[in-house]
């Protein structure tokens, strides 16, 4: 089992400081440190399909869940986070959510797209997981789980997911297909899911690593 960060960047308030952080930390996400930290997806969100708009999203892989937790306070990485402001308050530069989950290794293929999802609250667990189980056939990669630890974000996240598609057309349009709407219907979510779940779904492409 691997550890993963599933990140949503809600708003970049100071672009100079944020991208200075991104540039300074880039070499730490190549998979060759003691944490196995590997940036698998990062970029602007093509579409926020559910929930308030998200600017950028990221998927970072670690050797295990403890590595995903410990990396945040590694002295070298903490030094790069200093570009964002005080280590305990980066809100003047960026509003983001950084969530740790444990999942099977995610393999990324050419032309892969992802939904990187944050589930703020599951209101009706039985209905939600009826939908979730029925929806799995639509993804060629499905990694999800409860948030074990949340490094950043004013809004607590209950569950996070990285759900893969073979191409962008599916990622952006699958919600309109009969089969996906059937999965929503199994959880009573076809017309309105607010009584079942509060979530954010971001779609973006990934480059094979």
- The pLDDT of residue 110: 87
- The pLDDT of residue 209: 40
Query: What is the span of the domain harbouring residue 24?
Result: 2-205
* Rg (alpha carbons) of the chain, rounded to whole number: 17
CATH of the domain at 110: 3.30.70.100
% of residues, the chain, pLDDT over 70:
99
The interaxial angle of helices 125-135 and 178-186, nearest 10 deg, is: 150
User: Once rounded to an integer, what is the mean pLDDT over residues 55-69?
Assistant: 98
Provide the number of structural domains found in the chain. Answer: 1
- The pLDDT of residue 45: 97
Euclidean distance between the first and the last CA atom of the chain, given in angstroms as a whole number = 19
> Is 138 a residue whose pLDDT tops 90?
yes
Confidence of residue 208 (pLDDT cuts 50, 70, 90): very low
- What is the layout of strands, in order, in the sheet containing 159-165? 47-50, 197-205, 113-122, 159-165, 141-146
User: Once rounded to an integer, what is the mean pLDDT over residues 132-147?
Assistant: 97
Question: What is the CA 195 to chain-centroid distance, rounded?
Answer: 23
Confidence of residue 197 (pLDDT cuts 50, 70, 90): very high
pTM beyond 0.75: the answer is: yes
User: Once rounded to an integer, what is the mean pLDDT over residues 199-207?
Assistant: 94
User: Once rounded to an integer, what is the mean pLDDT over residues 5-17?
Assistant: 98
């Amino acid at each position: 089992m691997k550890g993963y960060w599933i990140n949503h960047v809600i708003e970049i308030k100071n672009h100079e400081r944020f991208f200075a952080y991104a540039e300074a930390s880039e070499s730490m996400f190549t998979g060759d440190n003691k944490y196995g930290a590997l940036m698998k997806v990062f970029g602007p969100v093509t579409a926020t399909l559910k929930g308030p708009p998200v600017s950028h999203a990221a998927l970072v892989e670690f050797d295990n869940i403890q590595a995903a937790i410990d990396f945040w306070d590694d002295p070298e990485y903490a030094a790069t986070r200093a570009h964002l402001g005080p280590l305990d308050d980066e809100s003047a530069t960026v509003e983001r959510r950084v969530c740790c989950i444990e999942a099977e290794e995610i393999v990324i293929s050419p032309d892969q797209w992802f939904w990187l999802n944050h589930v703020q609250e599951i209101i009706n667990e039985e209905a939600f997981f009826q939908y979730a189980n029925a929806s799995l056939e639509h993804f060629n990669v499905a990694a999800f789980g409860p948030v074990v630890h949340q490094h950043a974000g004013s809004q607590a996240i209950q569950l996070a997911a990285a759900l893969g598609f073979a191409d962008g057309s599916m990622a952006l349009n699958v919600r309109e297909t009969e089969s996906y709407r059937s999965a929503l219907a199994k959880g009573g979510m076809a017309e309105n899911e607010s009584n079942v779940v509060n979530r954010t779904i971001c779609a973006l492409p990934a480059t094979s690593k």
